[in-house]
Amino acid sequence: MENPKNHSETIETDILSDFVRKSSRAENVVDIIIQGIIKGYWKPGDKINDLALSERLGVSRITVREALSKLVERNLIEKKHWKGYAVRQFTWEEIDGLIDVRLVLEELALRKVIEKMTPATMSDLVGLLEESKRLVAVGDFKQFFILDYEFHEYLYQHSGNVWISGLLGDLRLVINMVRILSQIDHSEHVARNSIGEHERIVEDLKASRWESAVASLRNHLNQHRERVRKEFNGN
């Protein structure tokens, strides 16, 4: 892995535009930092220079440090003695545990979606799948991997269980951090495998093979686990 870098001064305008007018509060700075991590401006291990960031945002250094402290409490940022703040790096054991949690929550979400399945829901899932295929066909893998996660997000949001989405919370951010860390997002092979796995889930749902759909989802996440493990270990 590359040595930690300081990217505070290179945050893109698109991240700042929605927040810059209200960024005097620490919670808004938290939002900016999270967006920076999701979009890859800060990667696991990268240093976040609180002084440079405060100058870039036009807020006090105290406000930025308060925001960073909140993210330390959420286990997303590390404060290193005499070295400042850095995006947290995860061990394989932590990543493996994260995928275990995803398995439990996503299986529950899918079962709830199945209970409430409507033609409109089925049409939405098919639409997400078809758009994913189109993006891979034109080689737009960056947008594909955004849409790939939206497939899973759709299950959370349409489960009808507000606690599932709430429990996921920061897991969404960590999932994105893992994707950046593993550097699998630019692989056509991985994209096509993921589409095939999503397609099996959708086909099972269309055929009302409910338990098979749950098994297909479980297989998809376990295949994801194996792909990330190989990338993480450099295999």
Task: Read off the pLDDT of residues 39-81 as tens digits, 9 standing for 90 and up.
Answer: 778 888 899 999 999 998 888 999 999 999 999 998 889 998 7
In a domain, 3, yes or no: no
Q: Which of 7-21, 123-137, 187-201, 203-217 has the lowest mean pLDDT?
A: 7-21
* Residue 75, domain CATH: 1.10.10.10
User: Are 214 and 167 in a shared domain?
Assistant: yes
Structure tokens at 87: 């995006």
Q: Pick from 90, 88, 21: which is nearest to 57 by CA?
A: 21
Most confident of 4-18, 27-41, 100-114: 100-114
User: Are 136 and 38 in a shared domain?
Assistant: no
Structure tokens at 214: 């749950």
Structure tokens at 168: 């996921």
DSSP letter assigned to residue 46: -
Show Cβ contacts of residue 232 under 8 Å, excluding neighbours closer than 6 positions: 92, 95, 181, 182
The tens digit of pLDDT for each residue in 96-124 reads 998 999 899 999 999 999 999 999 999 99
Q: Which domain holds residue 53?
A: 8-87
pLDDT of residue 7 exceeding 70: no
pLDDT of residue 23 exceeding 50: no
User: Are 100 and 176 in a shared domain?
Assistant: yes
Task: Note whether 24 and 59 are within 8 A (CB).
Answer: yes
How many degrees, rounded to 5, is the angle at CA 94 between CA 91 and CA 97?
Answer: 150
User: Are 52 and 117 in a shared domain?
Assistant: no
Evaluated on CA atoms 194, 199, 205, 210, the torsion sign reads: negative
- Calpha distance 232→21 (Å, rounded): 39
- Give mean pLDDT, residues 181-199: 77
The tens digit of pLDDT for each residue in 159-181 reads 999 888 778 777 777 777 776 65
In a domain, 1, yes or no: no
User: Are 20 and 99 in a shared domain?
Assistant: no
pLDDT of residue 185 exceeding 60: no
Q: How many domains does the chain have?
A: 2
User: Are 108 and 211 in a shared domain?
Assistant: yes
Question: Which three-class secondary structure state does DSSP give residue 6?
Answer: strand
Q: CA distances (Å), 209 to each of 2, 128, 205, 212, 231, in order? A: 46, 20, 6, 5, 33
The tens digit of pLDDT for each residue in 192-220 reads 889 999 999 999 999 999 999 999 999 99
User: Are 83 and 136 in a shared domain?
Assistant: no
HSE (side-chain half, CA atoms, 13 Å) at 182:
26
Residue with the larger pLDDT of the pair 116 and 190: 116
